[in-house]
Amino acid sequence: MNTLSTPDHRHIAVNQIGYATEGAKIAIFSGEAHGFRVINEETGAMVYTGKSGKAIVDKPSGAIVHVADFSGVRTAGRYHLEGDDGNVSASFVIGDKPYGELQQGLLKAFYYYRCGVELTGEFAGPWAHGACHTAEGIVYGQPELTLDSCGGWHDAGDYGKYSGPGAKAIADLLLAYELYPTAFAVSIPLPESDGKTPDVLLECKVELDWLFKMQEPGTGGVYHKLTTLNFPGLDVMPEEDNAELYFSPVSATATGDFAGVMAMAARVYEPYDQGYARQCLTAAEAAWSWLQQHPEAPGFMNPPGISTGEYGDDTDQDERYWAAAELYRTTGEAVYHEAVQALAQLSFPKYSLGWADMGGYGTLTYLLTGESATEKGLYTSLKQGLLAEADRLVRQSREDGYRISLLEEDYIWGSNMLVLNNAMLLLAAEHFSGETAYAACALDHLHYLMGRNVLDISYVTGFGDRPVMHPHHRPSVGDGVADPVPGLVSGGPDRGLHDEYVAEHLQGKPAAQCFADHDLSYSTNEVTIYWNSPAVFVTARFNM
């Protein structure tokens, strides 16, 4: 086994935020089994003693691990664990709803991702900066044509803006609001907060308003992305990035994602702004018309001269499936129902929630439409498939030393997105089945994200005892502020070692240890909106 080499590594991993008062409370010991005690930090009193369980050889992490269960502690307060060997865990809270501030921080991160507006000190604190990327963008291949491109969210650690990934992020947030509305009762606040429209909808509107600008005038098709030709330097602040912006060509995947998210928004925003809801639906229908007129559009590839993130996707069947499902759920029109049923017969992943495989959103949308409004055989088949996939994730989690559903080969670039997307799917299974065991497994995934992992690190900036401090995120690098922008979810371990920094420093490490908290490690420590969005969904479930 490859042991950890960090000198100050703690061998007791916990959720560094905390645990719910009445829920399960489990820490993971690595190395030797030990007796342990739980200490109330306010009083210094020992409130619980126990012994860690039998050894598990956990191949993904390269560690021998033991479960330490202290679920018997049910008094609210701040605690830590101490092992008989002198090891001490991170400090954490036990409380009624311990993830409230975390959810707010994860959602507030989208404000920090905003493009085209000044982030003022009132709302951004020390991470304030000037308005950026306010110039018109050039339509690639038509240098004489420039269009308004301002607004939306920066996608990641760079300043590109992408239609498909943006739609995935909005979909996660709107699904969270649809399923767990009470979790969004408290204002963040945002500059637009009005006490009427929930802040999550106000923030999503920022991206939706930008997406309208990505729809090609006159055709309904949607430009794939808006970026400069090349990425700026790592320390370049957004308002200093003045290179020309380009609308990349229309793609079927972007158009399908646009149709899906706009149809979804039309439904969600209707109680708050009927005019805006109609605008969303009209745009969705125009995008669907484009898809119908282009049944075999080629996959997107970066055009010559553009080297920014490609987000290439050769298959658009899943995006069309999601679009049809959302349009049917919103309008009830038979033409969309027929399209859903036809597309569902094709071979693409029906339960994936990634930006490249959006089929899971189509499935969830169809199931949320309700059994009475759907075709019985398809509804039953999709529900059974969803629960079977969730059962598979539960089985994998039970075999994993850190109680998550990732196999060794799943520690890929953006592995934390898999962690969170899997947790989302588990919570969807809970919603449709009523089985709370799925939620318990999803919560184990949140525990992993927040520190109960082999590296004893919180993968969310600004939250936890040992959070990520050096994300690959240009504003965090260039702003001169010691702490990074808070609330950003890091990509997590990548066994492929896809950047120069980790290729030099992490050779031979087990999969779950292939992570570097360094701003040069774009393959393990970059941040994106669509890693934050499923994290908001998961925390919302536990803040109801």
Condensed to tens digits (0 to 9), the pLDDT of residues 275-296 reads 999 999 999 999 999 999 999 9
CA–CA distance, 331 with 538 (Å, rounded to integer): 28
Confirm whether 309 is domain-assigned: yes
- Classify 84 as helix, strand or coil: coil
Domain encompassing residue 163? 100-454+525-541
Confirm whether 45 is domain-assigned: yes
Contact criterion met (CB below 8 Å) for 464 and 17:
yes
CATH of the domain at 184: 1.50.10.10
70 and 107 share one domain:
no
CA–CA distance, 205 with 210 (Å, rounded to integer): 8
Q: Number of folded domains in the chain? A: 2
Amino acid making up residue 525: N
Contact criterion met (CB below 8 Å) for 92 and 73:
no
Confidence (pLDDT) at 33: 86
Confidence (pLDDT) at 160: 98
- Classify 129 as helix, strand or coil: strand
Confidence (pLDDT) at 7: 39
126 and 241 share one domain:
yes
Side-chain-side CA neighbours of residue 468 (13 Å): 30
Residues 6-10: contacts with CB under 8 Å, at least 24 apart: 6/455, 9/455, 9/456, 10/87, 10/88, 10/89, 10/90, 10/456
Known catalytic residues are: 517, 526
Distant-in-sequence, close-in-space partners of 179: CB < 8 Å, separation ≥ 6 = 427, 431, 540, 541
Confidence (pLDDT) at 3: 36
Q: What is the dihedral of CA 429, 430, 433, 437, to 10 degrees?
A: 110
Confirm whether 322 is domain-assigned: yes
CA–CA distance, 135 with 141 (Å, rounded to integer): 18
Token pair, residue 504, equals: 């030099």
331 and 251 share one domain:
yes
Confidence (pLDDT) at 8: 58
75 and 152 share one domain:
no
CA angle 465, 537, 397 (to 5 degrees): 70
The DSSP bridge pattern shows strands 77-83 and 18-20 to be unpaired
Confidence (pLDDT) at 9: 66
329 and 415 share one domain:
yes
25 and 149 share one domain:
no
DSSP notation for 320-379: HHHHHHHHHHHH--HHHHHHHHHHTTSSS-SS--SSS--HHHHHHHHHHH-GGGS-HHHH
First-to-last CA distance in the chain? 41
Q: Is 437 exposed, middle or buried (0-12, 13-18, 19+ CB in 10 A)?
A: middle
181 and 297 share one domain:
yes
Helices 415-433 and 376-399: crossing angle in degrees, nearest 10, is: 130
Confirm whether 219 is domain-assigned: yes
- Starting at the edge strand found earlier in the chain, the sheet holding 26-30 runs 12-13, 26-30, 63-69, 56-58
- Starting at the edge strand found earlier in the chain, the sheet holding 46-51 runs 18-20, 92-95, 77-83, 35-40, 46-51
Confidence (pLDDT) at 5: 38
195 and 261 share one domain:
yes
HEC profile of 453-485:
CCCCCECECCCCCCECCCCECHHHHHCCCCCCC
Token pair, residue 540, equals: 């919302």
Residue that finishes a domain, picked among 68, 98, 128? 98
Radius of gyration, CA atoms only, the chain: 23
DSSP notation for 147-202: E----SB--SSSS-EEHHHHHHHHHHHHHHHHH-GGGG-S----TT--SSS-HHHH
Confirm whether 467 is domain-assigned: no
Helices (H), 180-303: 199-213, 252-269, 274-293
Distant-in-sequence, close-in-space partners of 531: CB < 8 Å, separation ≥ 6 = 414, 416, 417, 420, 489, 490, 491
Which regions of the chain are under pLDDT 50? Answer: 1-7
Confirm whether 404 is domain-assigned: yes
Amino acid making up residue 168: K
CA–CA distance, 106 with 139 (Å, rounded to integer): 33
Q: Which residues are registered as beta bridge partners of 227?
A: 246
CATH of the domain at 1: 2.60.40.10
CA–CA distance, 227 with 317 (Å, rounded to integer): 26
Residue that finishes a domain, picked among 98, 114, 129? 98
Q: Which residues are registered as beta bridge partners of 28?
A: 13, 67
Confirm whether 231 is domain-assigned: yes
119 and 215 share one domain:
yes
Confidence (pLDDT) at 96: 95
Confirm whether 501 is domain-assigned: no
CA–CA distance, 100 with 88 (Å, rounded to integer): 25
53 and 89 share one domain:
yes
66 and 136 share one domain:
no
Residue that finishes a domain, picked among 73, 98, 123? 98
Q: Which residues are registered as beta bridge partners of 93?
A: 18, 78
Q: Among 477, 532, 533, 516, which residue's Cα sits nearest to residue 236? A: 477
129 and 51 share one domain:
no
Confidence (pLDDT) at 1: 34
Distance of CA 357 to the CA centre of its chain: 14
Q: Which residues are registered as beta bridge partners of 77?
A: 94
